[in-house]
Amino acid sequence: MNPQGNNTLEEMRRQMTILQEKLHNEAIVNDRLLRESMKHNYSSINRYLVLESTIFMPIIVFAFPFIALVFHLSWGPVIAIILLCLADVIFDYKVSHIKDEAFMTDDLIPTALRLQRAKRLSALQMLVSLPLTLLWFAWFIVDFFQSINYDSETLTSAAWGGLTGGCIGSVCGLIFAIQLYHKQQKTRQQVIDQINDLTAGSTPER
C-alpha cells in the first residue's frame, strides 16, 4: 500500500475517533441536562412537602383548638382533624419524598419504580382521605350547631360569620387539593417518561 493511502486511512481513523469522542461528550451533556430537568420538575413536590409540614400542619394544630375554646365545641372533631392531617403529612412524606441524589444515580430504574408506586398510593390516598374529610366536615357542622351558645348574640353572630367563612374556605381547599393532586400526578408521570427516554424504555411497568 502506498504512503498516500496509509496517510488517508490514518486521517480517516483520526477523524472517526474525534467524532466518537464528540458524540460521547454530547451524550454525557444530554444525560446531565435530562437529569437536571427531572430534578427540577420533581422539586415542586418536595417543596410542597416542606410547606405541608412546616406551615399547613402547625396552622391546623393551633387554629382548631382555638376555635373549639372560643365557641365551646367538643374536642372530638378537633382531635380527629389533627390526627387525620398528621397521618396525611406523614403518608405524603413517606410516599412522595425523593432526594435529588436519586435522579443522579447510574441506575434510574429504582427511582422510576418509586415514582410509579407514589402514583398508585397517592391515588389510593385521595380515594380514602376525600370521603373521610367530607364525613369529618359533616361531623364538625353538627357538633358546631349543637355546642354553640345561642343566648349570646355576639357569639352567635361570630359563629355564623365563622361558619360561612369556614364553608367557603373548605370548598376552596377541596378544589385546591384536587388540582394539586392532578398536578403532582402529572409531574410524576413526566419524570417517569423522562427516565424511560434516558433508559430506552427499560423501566418495567407495575
Nearest Cα to Cα of residue 77 among 132, 116, 157, 9: 132
Encode the chain (206 residues) as per-residue pLDDT tens digits.
555 555 666 666 666 666 566 655 555 556 777 888 888 999 999 999 999 999 999 999 999 999 888 878 889 999 999 999 999 999 999 999 999 888 888 788 899 999 999 999 999 999 999 999 999 988 988 888 787 766 666 666 767 777 787 788 888 888 999 999 999 999 999 999 988 888 765 555 55
Nearest Cα to Cα of residue 83 among 136, 147, 123, 162: 136
Q: How high is the pLDDT of residue 72? A: 82
Q: How far apart are CA 82 and CA 62, in angstroms?
A: 10
Q: How high is the pLDDT of residue 171? A: 87
Q: How high is the pLDDT of residue 93? A: 95
What is the CA 17 to chain-centroid distance, rounded? Answer: 45
Rounded to two decimals, what is the model's pTM?
0.77
